Structure 1
Amino acid sequence: MAGDVNNPRLWEGADFYTAPVGTALPVLLTDGMSTVPAWKAVGLLSEDGASESRDEDSTDFYAWGGKLIRTQRSRHKRTISVTCLEDNLTVFGLTNPGSTVSTAAGVNTRTVKIPKSDKSSFVLELVDGDIVRRRHIPQGEVTEVGEVSLSESDLQAFELTITIYPDSNDVLYVDYDNDPQGASA
């Protein structure tokens, strides 16, 4: 059987961070994300993990006789979804951009406004044993928030869908890892 049993990844742990667009990343994968204080963790994530979605239009062109000769791709869109389990200030800011929180005499007041466009940078950090992968999304935006259950039988959770915007060179994101199986020769 062909293949290498060291290549499959089972991401046993993950963290998700956000910061203003243009915020630098920690220099090394061994540096914690906290070495750059602008990066804020969203907290606990659902055990369902993160998921990436792709959407694009394609048009097929055929030669006489029905032979496929070319496919044109356009309107490419990429999103990533995570479910945050904590109701903290970072998650509040992502789910309610433009809203405010104030505290006086031990009482927090959350004033929720109609969401405004708010682009941010994101990092999804994945861990499989000693292997660490950081997916850096330089520019994205929470464009969808799933239903939030407020009940005694379901855990309150915030499912976020982040639309990833390309930079001027069409780069959507960059993965950094220390995986020897993925090293170039």
Structure 2
Amino acid sequence: MSGNTANPRLWEGADLWTAPVATALPTDLADAMSTIPAWKAVGLLSEDGASEARDEDSTDFYAWGGKLIRTKRSKHKRSITVTCLEDNLVVFGLVNPGSTVATSAGVNTRTVKIPKTDKRSFVLELVDGDITRRRHIPQGEVTSVGEVTLSEADMQAFELTITIYPTADDTLYVDYDNDTTNAATP
């Protein structure tokens, strides 16, 4: 059997961080995301993990006789979906962009308004033992929020779908990791 048993990943832990677009990342993977105050964690995430979706149109072109000779790809879209388990100010801001929270005399008042466009940077930080991967999304936006259940039988959770927008050079995201088994050779 060929392959390397050190290559498969089982991400045992994860955090989702958000900050204004163009916020710098820590310069080293050993440095916590929290060393840069603009990065805010969304809090606990569902054990279901995160999922990445791809969507694009494709058109196949055939030569006379039915031989496939080319495929044109367009309208490429990527998104990441994650479920946040905490009802905190960071999650509130992602779920309700443009809304406000005020506190007076120990009472919080959440004024929910029609959502506004709120492009942000995101980092999905994954951990597998000693391996850390930071997926940096320079520009994305929460474009879908799943149904939120309010009951005594189910935990309240916020399923967020983050649409990833390309940068000027068409970069969707950059992964940074310390996985030596997959290091590029000079």
Please tell me the TM-score bracket, short chain as reference.
Answer: over 0.9
TM-score scaled by structure 2?
Answer: 0.99
Q: Tell me the alpha carbon deviations over residues 8-41 of structure 1, each in whole angstroms, 9 at most, x when there is no partner.
A: 0000000000000010000100000011000000
Match of 1:103 in 2: 103
Structure 1, residues 28-57: CA drift from partner, whole Å, max 9, x if none?
Answer: 000000110000000000000000000000
> What is the one-letter code of the residue matched to 1:29?
L
Give the letter for the 2:41 counterpart: A
Aligned equivalents of 1:118 and 1:111: distance in 2?
17
Q: Given the alignment of the two structures, is residue 86 of structure 1 paired with residue 86 of structure 2, yes or no?
A: yes
Please say if 1:173 is aligned against 2:173: yes
Q: How does 1:1-185 map to 2 (within 5 A)?
A: 1-185=1-185
Identity %: 80
Secondary structure class of the residue paired with 1:117: coil
Distance 1:182 1:11 in 2: 16
CA distance in 2 between counterparts of 1:16 and 1:82 reads: 9
Take 1:129 and 1:107, find their aligned partners in 2: how far apart are those partners?
A: 42
Secondary structure at the aligned position of 2:181 is classed as: helix
Structure 1 stretches of 4+ with a deviation exceeding 3 A read: none
Give unpaired runs (5+ residues) of structure 1: none
How far is the alpha carbon of 1:169 from its aligned partner?
A: 0.5
Aligned with 1:92: secondary structure? helix
Q: Secondary structure of the equivalent of 2:151?
A: coil
Counterpart of 1:8, as a letter, is P
Instruction: Classify the secondary structure of the residue corresponding to 2:94.
Output: helix
* 5+ residue gaps, structure 2: none
1:181 positional shift: 1.4
Amino acid at match of 1:33: M
Deviation at 1:182, TM superposition (A): 1.4
RMSD: 0.3
